[in-house]
Amino acid sequence: VISDDGGGSITARGVAWGTNTSPTISGSYTADGTGTGTFTSSLSGLTPNTTYYVRAYATNRAGTAYGVEVSFTTSASLVLGEPLQGGIVAYIFKNYDSGYVAGEVHGLIVAIADQAPPEGEEDEEDAGVGAAWGCEQWTFATGIALGTGADNTKKILAECSEDGIAAKLSADYTVTVDGIYYDDWYLPSKDELNKLYDLHVLGFCGFAADGWYWSSTEDDIEDAWDQYFGDGEVDVYSKIESGDGVRAVRTF
């Protein structure tokens, strides 16, 4: 409730929120109208099992004032295929995974659609044209395990950053959900891509059932690893050939 305008018209109001105390509108916030009176704010895309701090704010010509801070902790429950932070939950880290933090919930989020749909093995009329992995040279993007795809992507782009290649399509992907901008996407590593295949088997995310998808893991100077989403087969393919699909991921 905004009960007093302080002598000037309220031009913006809502709540500021975050995982640190004393959140301000320089971070995450909602915009819930103008003027005094009662308003309702909704927060979404929150990380499970995490404490958040919230303060109402009101802005007039004199500046921005904040209300009393309150806090809450989100539930620890989270399931595969659930919308979260600009994408879909693809995998939840286990205690043996890189990125696991005891007492917290973290994992892999996949974009809701392909950045480049793959060609189909059967050449369906609605198949995509895919993308090339990158250039035919060493990039040292050899990370395989969960958590290595982001570094692989940076290494690829340091050596070849042509528009339309798989790593650039992934890194350039952005999405805004409820006013929050997510721009930390990358091309998944070999093991991360396999987690996406597992999600596909469960019926989530609309992957092409008859196409190959790129990982960010190179095999040698000429080839990189990819995976067929028809049956899960893993193989290598020429880095400079198009045809494989691209689906970006990020971690939470």
Same-domain check for residues 106 and 153: yes
Q: In b/e form, how buried is each residue of 32-59, taking b as 16+ CB within 10 angstroms?
A: bebeeeebeeeeebbbbebebbbbbbbb
Cβ–Cβ under 8 Å, residues 226 and 118:
no
- pLDDT (0 to 100) of residue 193: 98
Question: Does residue 139 belong to any structural domain of this protein?
Answer: yes
Contact, 194 vs 161, CB < 8 A?
no
Please tell me the distance from the alpha carbon of residue 198 to that of residue 121, in angstroms, as a whole number: 20
Q: Determine the structural domain holding residue 59 and report its residue range.
A: 12-73
Task: Give yes or no: residues 239 and 131 share one domain.
Answer: yes
Residues 98 and 222 in one domain: yes
Alpha carbon 123 to its chain centroid, in Å, reads 30
pLDDT of residue 100: 85
Rounded to whole angstroms, the Cα distance separating 167 from 216 reads 7
Pairing of strands 87-92, 83-84: antiparallel
- 214 and 186 together in one domain: yes
Numbers of helices and strands, H then E, in the chain: 3, 14
Question: Residue 157: inside a domain, yes or no?
Answer: yes
- Whether 107 is covered by a domain: the verdict is yes
**Cross-strand pairs, 181:** 176
Indicate if 240 and 142 belong to the same structural domain: yes
Residues 40 and 125 in one domain: no
17 lies in the same domain as 43 = yes
SS (H, E, C) 5-68: CCCCCCCEEEEEEECCCCCCCCCEECCCCCCCECCCCCCCCCCCCCEEEEEEEEEECCEEEECC
What distances in angstroms separate CA 50 from CA 53, 101, 106, 165, 207, one per listed residue? Answer: 10, 12, 10, 36, 31
* Same structural domain, 130 and 236: yes
Q: Are residues 35 and 133 in the same domain?
A: no
- 122 and 32 in one domain? no
How would you write the pLDDT of the chain (252 residues) with one tens digit per residue?
666 666 778 999 999 999 999 999 999 999 999 988 888 888 877 877 789 999 999 999 889 999 999 999 887 678 899 899 999 999 999 888 888 888 778 899 999 999 999 987 555 555 568 999 999 999 999 999 999 999 999 999 999 989 999 999 999 999 998 888 999 999 999 999 999 999 999 999 999 989 999 999 999 999 999 999 999 999 999 999 999 999 999 999
Are 247 and 211 spatial neighbours (Cβ–Cβ below 8 Å)? no
Residue 207 sits in the same domain as residue 240? yes
Is residue 4 a part of any domain in this protein?
Answer: no
* Cα Rg of the chain, angstroms: 22
Same domain, 132 and 195: yes
Is there a domain that residue 21 lies in? Answer: yes
Number of domains in the chain: 2
Please state, in angstroms and rounded to a whole number, the distance separating the CA atoms of residues 148 and 139.
14
Q: Is residue 47 part of a domain?
A: yes
